[in-house]
Amino acid sequence: MIDTLVCRQAVPDDVSAIEALAARSIRALHAGAYDDAVIQEAIDHAYGMDWQLVRNGTYFVAMAAGTIVGAGGWSYRRTIAGAHGPDDPAAPRLSPTKDAARIRAFYVDPGYARRGIGALLLGASERGRSTPASRARNSPPLSRRCRSMQPTAMNPLVDMTYPYRAAGSLSSA
């Protein structure tokens, strides 16, 4: 049981801790499905922090005892996945009339898996999407159906297409 779990908006100073968390999560998730060299290549070149999510205020961290144990968020940009550095230009916006906002880059520390951290981060994303600032920039809605873009190794953990429903009221700071 996690005694105290705090969810807050990610800030640039969190990026190195999020990258370390992502690497731990990816290694644990893909162990047995891919060899270590392939996993390391994915960490080095395919996965990583998308600074645009932090700059847009749409990325969140979950903390336990002052340590980041989960991260995830949503995007109103066309980027599906992958890392984008602090100086990379912003991707084009999604169309609020045609597109759904995208749930992006969720990572949970393997030592904290199955404790509600992903649900807490999803709830923060849902609430973040419904803020006046989000509505003012005409962001697309979160869809009533989501399609997971996750690697095949996650199939046992995530049904690749599943009905979406709001997570309900989860506490966050």
Is 128 exposed, middle or buried, given 0-12, 13-18 or 19+ CB atoms closer than 10 A?
buried
Q: Which residue has the higher pLDDT, 104 or 162?
A: 104
Residue 137 pLDDT class (50, 70, 90 cuts): low
Q: Between 40 and 103, whose confidence is greater?
A: 40
In this structure, the number of other CB atoms found within 10 A of the CB of residue 97 comes to 7
Please give the structure tokens belonging to residue 10: 């990610």
The pLDDT tens digits for 33-74 are 899 999 998 888 877 788 889 988 899 999 999 999 999 998
Beta bridge partners of 31: 34
Neighbours of 56 (CB within 10 A): 19
- Bigger pLDDT: 131 vs 32: 32
Whether residue 22 contacts residue 14, with contact meaning beta carbons closer than 8 Å, is answered with: no
Kindly list the domain boundaries of the chain, sorted by start residue. 5-163
Q: Examine the pLDDT at 22 and tell me if it is beyond 70.
A: yes
| Residue 69, Ramachandran bin (φ over 0: left; ψ between -120 and 50: alpha; else beta) | alpha
CATH class of 5-163: alpha beta
Q: Angle at the Cα of 27 (from 65 to 109), degrees rounded to 5?
A: 15
Residue 19 has pLDDT above 50, yes or no: yes
Give the pLDDT of residue 8.
93
